[in-house]
Amino acid sequence: MLSKSFLKRNHNKMLRSFLVILFFSCCAMAVAQFPSAPIPAGLADNASAIVRYSEREIILRDKGNVLIRNHYVYTILNSGGNDYAKLILPYDKLKKVLSIEGTLFDAEGKKLRSLRKSEIKDYSNTSEDNLADDDRVKLHNFDHSVYPYSVEYETAIEMDGLFYLPAWTPVFNENIAVQAASLQVITEPGYELRFKAYNYAQAPIITSVKKDKKYSWAVANIAPVKDEAYSPAWHEMVPTVFIAPSSFEMQKYAGSMNNWNEFGTFIYTLNANRNVLPEQVKQKVHALTNGLATDKQKITVLYKYLQQNTRYISIQLGIGGWQTLDAGFVASKGYGDCKALSNYMNALLTEAGIPSHIALVKAGSDEASIIPDFSSNQFNHVIVCVPQPKDSIWLECTSQTSQPGYMGSFTGNRHALLISEKGGTLVRTPYYGAPDNVQKRIIKAAIDEKGGLNATVTSNYSGMQQDRLDGAIKQLSTTQFADYMKRKFDLPSYEVVDFSHSVNTAALPSIEEKVTLKVAHYASVTGKRLFVNPNLLSVSSFKIKDAANRKFDFEFKIPFIDTDSVEIEIPAGYKAEAVPTAVDIRSGTSIYKSSLKIAGQKIIFTRYYSQQPQRSSPANIKELADFFEKVYKADHSKIVFVKESA
């Protein structure tokens, strides 16, 4: 809560004046239309579209109702910006579209035409995984392609409940420039709006509007931001304001989220008394577990029972996006979404006398982490945690093939919100370090006189390094998997002669892969010389480009270890003329080592690369860039052999 004295400081007065001027000038620009000519100098550089004007107004009418108005004008500079000219407006039972208006302008700002209501398409937004939901989307596109052109849209949406409020990210993609954008949130005078800003130095301007309170943010003249390789989450690079309610209602269910405990209390209340099992299922639980000695054995048996008797299907109807179907439904139908299956697993464990909790998590191997110090709706998945005297056992209940306890890259190494009758507690899911995520290769190969190579490759993948392969094995058809193997290796045209996979279903899963490869022109033969890269399958192609001008941190998130042991037999009659030296280079938590020797007609090559989580600032990026440059050079180094005279 900002103090009155703070609001009286001079810089806030200046900011308020700037915001008022900006707001009214933007409104005037919108009325006067948007020719492309007055774009500020340099703003269009590297841009496909420019946000000329954007205003979002969020009105919290009461704890159970929100009105969101969006009014924006985008100038589309080239074909790369066409997608931003489309209106895409999702809605569902809790979100009602009140109005849509749109206008198309040419390069000079002349109105070409207005949106006609008949042009708005309305489609189901249901994915293939969903058995039932009420997600729909309204779409409109002027389908204009004479550049530059501008589109103006005004929309109004009413939301039933304050459980989720959209973040404000005016720079929403890397080829977008922003000329002017603002956010206003209007609340009742006594209501405490919660917010967290990134890359926005000022506090919001707080003013009185009639009997209400208004929070305001504004930005102007932001050039496109380049999404650099291994950069942090997008909200850490551009101005972003996350907002969340303090107290709220959703379809008559009241709650608060001032902290994670309150958030968890709401989720627990919403789902209370929905884990009652039918009598026949209770009997089955006892038949499966009564003779077992340990909780771990019981957990494993019940998890397998869940996997064998249920399947994942998403069901999202109204508040059902957060309120689970009861255990009886899953028992009778044999399916459910992540909430329902996790609730069912919790019920099975409870019947066996084993305490467990559902946990909310932001799942996805490419998802940004949640913001741990900003309690709000940041989750998209539900799993189960079974507390144990030492390490808890985590269960992914939507998978029919996962091992009990393994979270992997989908939900491992991140925060989760544990839900109990005492509320919510932010915890960590299982951590998989570099020694867990290993790729170990042993290669035996031979090169013929023409440079062709035949190789047998035995690879062991563990932890997160086996996740993608495991998914391919379990989800692809035989034909699809054969195609996957033909594209898997970074080699010139090659043939997979044979392959096999052995899956180890331990607590930390692993896969042994055996592949026989034939590569037609692997080595280069030039006159009397033979050029061979001993690093057959782990050649790095990565460099940090333009390191001197990098603007954002470089972040490694997933730890791993790669090892290669390679033996290549070369044709008789050749001797080594030039052999790369051993390499041992390090940068922060990155370690790379390789060694090479020639034993008779055999090349013996070893490679080791280890990476721990690491975040480097742009100021320190040169050292890391040099590291990758050296790795690239070492991985591409070739041995030169010369044919001895007869």
At 645 the pLDDT is 76
Question: Is a pLDDT exceeding 90 seen at residue 304?
Answer: yes
Instruction: Return the amino acid letter for 315.
Output: I
Cα distance between residue 541 and residue 613, in whole Å: 20
Determine the 3-state secondary structure of 45 from DSSP. coil
What is the pLDDT averaged over residues 91-118?
94
pLDDT band at 450 (very low <50, low <70, confident <90, very high): very high
At 309 the pLDDT is 97
CATH of domain 257-428: 3.10.620.30
More confident: 161 or 379: 379
Question: Is a pLDDT exceeding 60 seen at residue 316?
Answer: no
Burial of 475 (0-12, 13-18, 19+ CB in 10 A): exposed
Cα distance between residue 269 and residue 272, in whole Å: 5
pLDDT band at 319 (very low <50, low <70, confident <90, very high): low
What is the pLDDT averaged over residues 122-151?
80
At 221 the pLDDT is 96
Cα distance between residue 173 and residue 224, in whole Å: 8
Burial of 247 (0-12, 13-18, 19+ CB in 10 A): middle
Angle between the N-to-C axes of helices 279-289 and 338-351, in degrees from 0 to 180, rounded to the nearest 10: 60
Which tokens in the block code for residue 609?
A: 């690369």
Among residues 506, 295, 507, the alpha carbon closest in space to that of 389 is found at 295
At 63 the pLDDT is 79
Lowest mean pLDDT among 34-38, 98-102, 144-148, 360-364: 34-38
**Helix or strand (DSSP H, E) at 538:** none
Q: Are strands 65-76 and 87-91 parallel, antiparallel or unpaired?
A: unpaired
State what percent of residues in the chain have pLDDT above 70.
Answer: 92
At 8 the pLDDT is 33
**Helix or strand (DSSP H, E) at 472:** helix 467-475
Q: What is the pLDDT of residues 411-439, one digit of tens each?
A: 999 999 999 999 999 999 999 999 999 99
Q: What is the pLDDT of residues 19-35, one digit of tens each?
A: 333 333 443 344 345 67
At 507 the pLDDT is 86
At 224 the pLDDT is 96
Q: Where are the domains of the chain?
A: 4-179+202-253, 257-428, 438-643
Question: Is a pLDDT exceeding 60 seen at residue 317?
Answer: no
At 127 the pLDDT is 53
At 4 the pLDDT is 30
CATH fold, domain 438-643, is Jelly Rolls (2.60.120)
What is the pLDDT averaged over residues 90-113?
94
Lowest mean pLDDT among 3-17, 239-253, 314-328: 3-17
More confident: 133 or 220: 220
Residue with tokens 């404000």: 168
Q: What is the pLDDT of residues 552-582, one digit of tens each?
A: 999 999 999 999 999 999 999 999 999 999 9
- For domain 4-179+202-253, the question of CATH label 1.25.40.10 is answered with no
Lowest mean pLDDT among 1-15, 427-441, 449-463: 1-15
* DSSP secondary structure code for residue 573 in this structure: T
At 246 the pLDDT is 95
Among residues 556, 618, 620, the alpha carbon closest in space to that of 591 is found at 556
pLDDT band at 646 (very low <50, low <70, confident <90, very high): low
State what percent of residues in the chain have pLDDT above 90.
Answer: 82
At 134 the pLDDT is 64
At 399 the pLDDT is 92
Among residues 158, 272, 416, the alpha carbon closest in space to that of 407 is found at 416
- Average pLDDT, rounded, for the chain: 90
Q: What is the pLDDT of residues 596-607, one digit of tens each?
A: 999 999 999 999
* DSSP secondary structure code for residue 493 in this structure: S
At 404 the pLDDT is 93
Contact yes or no for 336/309 (Cβ under 8 A) = no
What is the pLDDT averaged over residues 66-80?
97
Which tokens in the block code for residue 293?
A: 């000695």
